[in-house]
Structure 1
Amino acid sequence: MTTNLSRYEADLEKLIKKGELLLTVMQYEQNTDQVKKQIHEIMGGNADKFIADLPRFSSDYQFWYSEAKALVRQVIPDRLADFVRHYERQPNRKVMQWDNYTIEDYLQGLSRSNLVPMSAGLACMEQQLNIVKSAQQKFKSSLFDIRQLVTADLFDSEIDAARLLLKNKFLRAAGAVAGVVLEKHLAHVCDSHNIKNSKKNPTINDLNDLLKNADVIDMPRWRANQHLADIRNICDHNKSKEPTVEQVADLIDGTEKVIKTIF
């Protein structure tokens, strides 16, 4: 059986391999002849096809950065500022130098004569890749609290139960089960990020606000969670209004997405 932990590890491995490929693309762009020679030495007859299939750094990096940033925010939040710093140019920067050059500069083709060439961006990409690789080590470390991932496996069976209830038209029961899973998972996420709350029995919206204020989730995810909480309330509390099949399906699907992407 494939567990959430194994899926996360597989996704992280893909992210690292994509980052390594993007670093190769940067090296190729800055030292084409030298890197081409090295690729031919390593890959022989497959070198030309490999080079022809190389992605464009300017377009593919943005997708990689978005995924990698989300990963760093969740798994190693103490490295997030450092990760972002290698991409975003500081607004108070007065003079471009080696130690403040960013990938944002690289993407815009900026350099400063021979003092700060575009190849300075290589160090930024290497550092970002190393930070992502450190997340992989944390997955394997006994210091990493994997209760979220283990609990997610248990939640999967409850999501399956909710889908079965929905299939048999027990709409309120299906929504109630999914709502409990969502609430418990958000509470676990708060615990894993050491986010304290003052309420004895916090609601989904309470937990959602805490996670947004701690920058664990962004505004679109916060709004989506609010929507799920509204549907849960209809299922649990609003006896004058019946939930629809579509609403309960949204709650179940949305909850499953949360337990797979927020931890």
Structure 2
Amino acid sequence: MALQEEIKEYLNESESHLDKIGDDIEDFFSELETEENAFSEEMESEAFSTYEWAPRTEVSSAQRDARDKYEQWYNAVEPVVYDYLPRRYEEFDEMHEKTLNYLNLESGFTESAPETPMERAVDIVNLIDGQKSIVMAAPNRVAAKQFNARKDISADVEADELLRARELYEDGLVREGGVIAGVALERHLMTVCETSDREVDYDPSHSIGRLAQSLYEADVILNSPMKRLKYLGGIRGDCAHPEHEPNSEDVERLLNGAEEFIRNGFEG
């Protein structure tokens, strides 16, 4: 199973910790009452809320259940956000702190209590939904990082193959140089097929000519580079089959063409 799918499955399983937490939050805040803050009219600053929570004589089981479920879920998914979404971690952590403050009725002087308790219940549900949205972005982030890593690795390998192909050609090993240059070009075309924004119908076993045709049919490349790639693919085929003796000038064209396409793209 790919890492992206593993993380997605893990996050879906972790969400079971939040089972019926909305009901717990609603039950808890439906038990509460607010009262007017006796000092609010004396304070000129808007930092003091008009309302505060009315005193309670016992701990609410619904409050405890909601808090326990939320903390179990948070502790399960927090490492995922830290590892794969570092730019969103501070925001995620601030939402966690705010959610706990609301659940513990510890909003402080700046936001003591709303006029009606259920307003705070809605605030908490919205905060949790916001955190869930951040968390569920992690699998796509993992896929993007793996995708970029594959492209970087492919580019490095292609560069090494082109260098090796050129060295073999200059040492008189024309056929071998042509084969490796062809492999580099095939690898590059495969990467273009994989990374294109358009849907490309291709198979990993396809040759240069077939890959070029697929890219053309998907409107990724124009007719001119498609024809030139097929021409280069023919030279690569001659190099790969012992019954055909590759022409030195043709192989040099393959080397130059592969370098040009890999480094500069398919314009023209």
So what's the TM-score if we normalise by structure 1?
Answer: 0.42
Q: Which has the larger radius of gyration?
A: 2
